[in-house]
Structure 1
Amino acid sequence: MNEMTTVGFTEMKHGSRADYELLARREDEYAAGTADRILAQLAKLGDGLSGYRISRLEHSIQSAARAEADGADIDWIVAALLHDIGDELAPHNHDSIAADIIRPYVREQVSWVVQHHGIFQMVYYAHHYGKDPEARRKYADNPYYQDAVDFCERWDQASFDPDYRSPPLEHFAPMVREVFGRPAWDGTVLRKGEREPLVR
C-alpha cells in the first residue's frame, strides 16, 4: 500500500481524518525547522534599512550581547536578538510581528515587552517628528511597564555602536534553537503574570 504524500481534498471541508493526520505530521516536521528559518531571516537584516552606522543585524546582535552581559536569562537574550526581525516585512508594526513569532515559546512578560518596544522607544526621538515621546504612558499600569522601559534603555536604544564588540550570530544559534525547541504554548514556559529581572 502506497503511503499518502498529499491530501486528497481541494476544499478543507472535504478533508478526511487521514488527510489531517498527514498534515499534522508534516506540520510537526516543518515546525522543527523554525529556529533555522529564524536564523536565516535574521541574517537578511544585514542588508536591510540603511542610514544607521551599523546594520539591523548588528543592532540585533548587539542588543542580545548586552542582554547576555547583563546576566539576562535565555528568554530575554533571544527576545533582544529577535526584537526587530519584523523590520523587513512590517516596518510599521515590526514589534507586533516579532512578538507573535516568540509568543508561543517565551514568558508572557518577554513577548509583551517585544510587542510594545516600538512605542517605548519613541521617548528617544518622537519629539523630533512632532509626536508624543511619552505615548508609552498609556501602559503605565501594566506590570511589565518598567521592563519595557529597561529593555529599551539598556539594550535597544544603546545598540547602534560600530565600536561595540559583539559575537557573531552563530554564538546565539544554540539559544534560538533551545527556545524554539520548546513545546508551543506550554503554560510552564509562558508563566503568565510572572517576571524575571533583565539584569542579574
Structure 2
Amino acid sequence: MSDHSQSEDRAQFRRMDEGTEADWEILGREYMKMASGVVDRVIDHMKLLDGDFGGFQVDRLTHSLQTATRAYRDGKDEEYVVCALLHDIGDTLGTYAHGAVAAAILKPFISKANYWMLENHTDFQGYYYYHFVGLDKNRRDRFIDSPYYEHTKEFIDKYDMPAFDPDYPTMTLEEFEPMMRRVMRKQLKSKIAKHAAE
C-alpha cells in the first residue's frame, strides 16, 4: 500500500456489517465529493467521442451535439436537451447496449418518459437501417402499447435520425454545459448530505 492511502480519512470496517455511524459519515462525505464531479466526468467522456466517425459523415460527438442542438432549437426543455446530448454516450463502453448506458447515467435526474426513451431509442432508430443488416426494421413495434412509444419515435424522427449533417450549424459542448449542470444537480436530503456540507 502507498503511504498516502494511510493518511486518508477512511472507514475502519473490513465488512459492511461491522460499519459504525462514524464510518458512514466518512463514506458519506467521500460519496458527495464523488457525486459533485459527475458532470465533469460526463463531459470528459463526451470528449472521447470527438474524432470517432464510425463511418458516418460526422463524428459521434458532433452527432450528439447536433441532436441536442436540434431539440434545443425546437423548444424542448433542458432535461430533454440533455437527454438528446447524452443519448449515445454509451457507444464507447456499452457498445451493445449504449441506450441503457445513457439511461443509467441520467436516471436520477430525468422523467420516466425520458429514461424510457433513452433506454429504448436504439430499436426506434433501427427502423431506418435494421433491414439493411438482416434485422426487422419494425422491431420498435413490440413497444407499440407503451405510453412512451410516440415520445421516443418523435425523438428519433425529429432529432436523432437527421443529425448526421456536416453542414448543420451545431452548438458546442461548452454551450450545453450549464444545462447539464442544472439538470444533473441532485440534492440528497439525508444525513449524508448534511455532513458533506459541513
The normalised TM-score by structure 2 is 0.88
Q: Distance in 2 between matches of 1:183 and 1:82?
A: 21
Larger Rg: 2
Q: Distance in 1 between matches of 2:50 and 2:160?
A: 17
Structure 1 residue 54 corresponds to structure 2 residue 55: no
Match of 1:69 among 70, 73, 94: 73
Structure 1 residue ranges (4+ consecutive) displaced by more than 4 angstroms after TM superposition:
none
| Corresponding residue number in structure 1 for 2:193 | none
| Corresponding residue number in structure 1 for 2:149 | 145
Q: Distance in 1 between matches of 2:66 and 2:124?
A: 19
Task: Give the paired residue count.
Answer: 183
Judge which range, 41-50 or 120-129, deviates more. Answer: 41-50
Structure 1 residue 89 corresponds to structure 2 residue 93: yes
| Corresponding residue number in structure 1 for 2:13 | 9
Structure 1 residue 42 corresponds to structure 2 residue 49: no
| Corresponding residue number in structure 1 for 2:105 | 101
Unaligned 5+ residue runs, structure 1? 186-200
The percentage of aligned residue pairs carrying the same residue is 37
| Corresponding residue number in structure 1 for 2:195 | none
Unaligned 5+ residue runs, structure 2? 1-6, 190-198
Q: 1:57-108 CA distances to partner (integer Å, 9 max, x unpaired)?
A: 0000000000001100011100000000011001100000100111110111
Q: CA deviation at 1:25?
A: 1.3
Q: Distance in 2 between matches of 1:26 and 1:118?
A: 35
| Corresponding residue number in structure 2 for 1:20 | 24
Match of 2:125 among 121, 128, 134: 121
Q: Distance in 1 between matches of 2:187 and 2:47?
A: 25
Secondary structure of residue in 2 paired with 1:91: coil
Root-mean-square deviation over aligned CA pairs: 1.6
The normalised TM-score by structure 1 is 0.87
Higher-helix-fraction structure: 2
